[in-house]
Amino acid sequence: MRVKSEARRQAIIDVAKEAFCRQGFEATSMSEIASRVGGSKATLYNYFRSKEEIFIAVMESSATERIAEAFKILEENTNIRFTLVDFGMHYLKSIISPDIVAIRRMAINEAERSDIGRHFYENGPKKGWLLLNHYLQKQVGQNVLVPCDVWVCAMHLKALLESEVVEQHALGVIKEIDDTQLKNVVTRAVSVFLKAYQAQDKNNVE
């Protein structure tokens, strides 16, 4: 019974995600989601108390999981430059993917009317950047990076990684970016970051 219940819940999330991404949060109703899943609103409310709760579940099952994959790279014990370039590639690919872009836009749009934006940040981006914060703290402890406020350090890396493509992509200035272009963007960002934060005796480490 539990397997069937979990499968039903996931089916609701999948249907809701498709509807949200296609027409937006406001234009998607509980009735429409129930109809597409193949049941009544009463059945829907057995799993979720509101449309906002469904949207939160959609965010947790897609945006947070996709972005989390990039942060797993930080667990690998490799050279900091290679690690950050690999991390940057995965991170940028995740946040410019169509479904993540759509979900992020909806979270921003709903932030003025509800706690959805805050919930998205607390359970998605913030959790990920806290993992990077932990990684950078270890690098400071090993004298790979200079002593610093590692949260600010993490935000500087975030800004550098996003600076060349994220806004332009969101506004439709950049339609597509291939892996070679993305690698160049990430490599430049990491190089600037390391010039600012890498300890002097580590500057020639490749």
Rounded to 5°, the CA angle 8-14-20 comes to 135
H-only helix segments in the chain: 2-23, 30-37, 41-47, 51-61, 63-72, 80-95, 98-110, 116-123, 125-141, 150-162, 166-170, 179-197
What pLDDT score does 15 carry?
92
Let me know whether 45 and 116 are in one domain: no
Average pLDDT of span 124-142: 89
Q: Span 149-171, mean pLDDT?
A: 94
Q: Are the CB atoms for 103 and 59 separated by under 8 Å?
A: yes
Supply the pLDDT for residue 148. 96
What is the pLDDT at residue 159? 96
Nearest one of 70, 47, 68 to 59, comparing CA atoms: 68
What is the pLDDT at residue 124?
A: 76
Give the rounded percent of residues in the chain with a pLDDT score beyond 70.
91
Residue 159 or 2, more confident: 159
Q: Are residues 135 and 117 part of one domain?
A: yes
Residues 77 and 41 in one domain: no
How many domains in the chain? Answer: 2
- Are residues 21 and 121 located together in one domain of the fold? no
Q: Which of 25-29, 66-70, 112-116, 170-174 has the weakest average pLDDT?
A: 66-70
Average pLDDT, the chain: 85
14: domain CATH number is 1.10.10.60
Question: Cα 145 to the chain's mean position, in Å?
Answer: 25
Shared-domain flag, residues 36 and 92? no
CATH number of 146's domain: 1.10.357.10
Assess whether 138 and 81 both reside in one domain: yes
Q: Which residues pair with 43 in a beta bridge?
A: none
CA distance 166 to 95: 8
What secondary structure letter does DSSP report for 164?
A: T
d(CA 44, CA 13): 11
Q: Cα–Cα distance between 193 and 191 in angstroms, integer?
A: 5
Please choose, from the candidates 129, 130, 111, the residue with its C-alpha nearest in 3D space to the C-alpha of residue 120.
111
User: What are the pLDDT digits (tens) for 58-98?
Assistant: 887 776 666 667 677 887 767 999 999 999 998 898 888 88
Residue 3 has pLDDT above 60, yes or no: no
| 22 and 105 together in one domain | no
Structural domain harbouring 138: 62-202
In tens, the pLDDT along 28-67 reads 889 999 888 887 888 888 899 888 889 888 887 776 666 6
pLDDT of residue 201: 65
pTM to 2 decimals?
0.78
Q: Could you tell me if 69 and 159 lie in one domain?
A: yes
